[in-house]
Amino acid sequence: MTGGGHGYLSSTYGMGADNLLEATIVSPDGQVLIANPYQNQDLFFATRGGGGGTFGVLISAVVRAYPTPQTTNHNFDLTLLDPSKENEFWNMVGYIHTELPRLNAAGMAGYYFLYVPPVVPTFIFSWTMYIYDKPNGTVESLMQPIMDRLNNQSSVFSYGQQVSWYASFIDAYGLKEPEDVGAPAATMGSRLLSTESLSDAGRVTEVLASIGSSAKVTVSTSKSWVQRHAHKLQNPVIFSGSITASNQVPSYYPDLIGMTPAWRNTTLHLAIIEAWDETLDQTSVNEIFQDVTWNRTQPLRDLSPDTGAYLNECDYFEPDWQTSLYGPNYPRLYEIKQKYDPQGLFWCQRCVGSDDWVQLDDKSLCRPSDFRQ
């Protein structure tokens, strides 16, 4: 487990890693090990947020269960009507981001998407959020400041919200369509954004606008540029935000949790996604990777420098990834990796101990001492 559960859970239920009570793991040498607060404590620590599959094969888990809560679903959408007023769109979106800590503290959590098409300048922001065991009218009251501001700019935006009440979480979530698989080739970069990083509306607006505005292709773009970078005309840049679950330290053995402590100071997990057609040449693909790392994600790192990124949805070329993904826990996690998997049987990009290997162009691995350029 890598610390997930950053979307739908409320302040009552915590992070996914917080709720792991025990794990049964097959170690690289074939042993079946029970990991809990009393046996193999180090392995238990690593499995709770340190990238569980890095240390062995997880074959069973004991997870804390809760009564299913009454669930209120909130859908909200916002579209810019006048493309010439792009600045007002970013100002509004920046303001909404500064409101997220307040909404989250009241129990709202969920996902949003922001689409920036490269040619047709139709900016779209929409979310689905959930809140649990709250009386009717709670969401409407929480949203009132945002709706008041939108009502004052009704000529600029098309917007609306829908609130639905369900007796249980399963009733609400069960209505979701299955997610697509085998989607077009894509890469992403992400950052955990702290409450503090979202406090300055001007700064947040500046960062989001710098990421989104650079995605557009303008009428002044040269024909030769379009010919060289036609892939940029195919897909929008997508902002994918996850308003997190509880950032409070759990009562169940909080010292035995290997996930980065940055999650405890996070309100929003924000990922920037760029896709491309799978026929695209490798040089252009490399350009997209570089673009995501330095033009899309670096502004988020600068906005929230003291947090990190989410292992499962991070930049493939995340700089200083040991600190970014694991924080101060990396040295301890590395020691545990060496204890249980000294030969490096289990490897993945940016996982604990992956820096003990060099990945060659053909994707094979070798030790740095054996590497010859």
- Contact yes or no for 108/130 (Cβ under 8 A): yes
CA distance 254 to 104: 22
Interhelix angle 86-105/201-213, rounded to 10 degrees, is 130
Domains identified in the chain and CATH numbers: 71-323 (3.40.462.20)
Helix axes 86-105 and 138-151, enclosed angle (nearest 10): 160
4-49 confidence digits (pLDDT tens)? 444 444 456 788 899 999 999 999 999 999 999 999 999 999 999 9
Q: Which residues contact 327 (CB under 8 A, 6 or more apart)?
A: 260, 261, 262, 308
Cite the beta strand spans of the chain per DSSP E. 20-26, 32-35, 57-63, 71-80, 109-116, 124-132, 157-166, 185-193, 237-243, 268-276, 358-359, 365-366
Q: What is the pLDDT along the chain (373 residues), one digit of tens a residue?
A: 445 444 444 456 788 899 999 999 999 999 999 999 999 999 999 999 999 789 999 999 999 999 999 999 999 999 999 888 999 999 999 999 999 999 999 999 999 999 887 655 678 999 999 999 999 999 999 999 999 999 999 999 999 999 999 999 889 887 667 767 666 788 999 999 999 999 999 999 999 999 987 554 433 344 443 444 555 545 678 999 999 866 788 889 999 999 999 999 999 999 999 888 888 888 888 989 999 999 999 999 999 999 999 999 999 999 999 999 999 999 999 999 999 999 999 999 899 999 999 988 888 999 888 765 5
Tokens in use for 293? Answer: 């790392």
Burial-class residue 113 by CB neighbours within 10 Å (0-12, 13-18, 19+).
Answer: middle
Question: Can you tell me the distance from the alpha carbon of 156 to that of 278, in angstroms, rounded to the nearest whole number?
Answer: 37
* Residue 366 in tokens: 């070798």
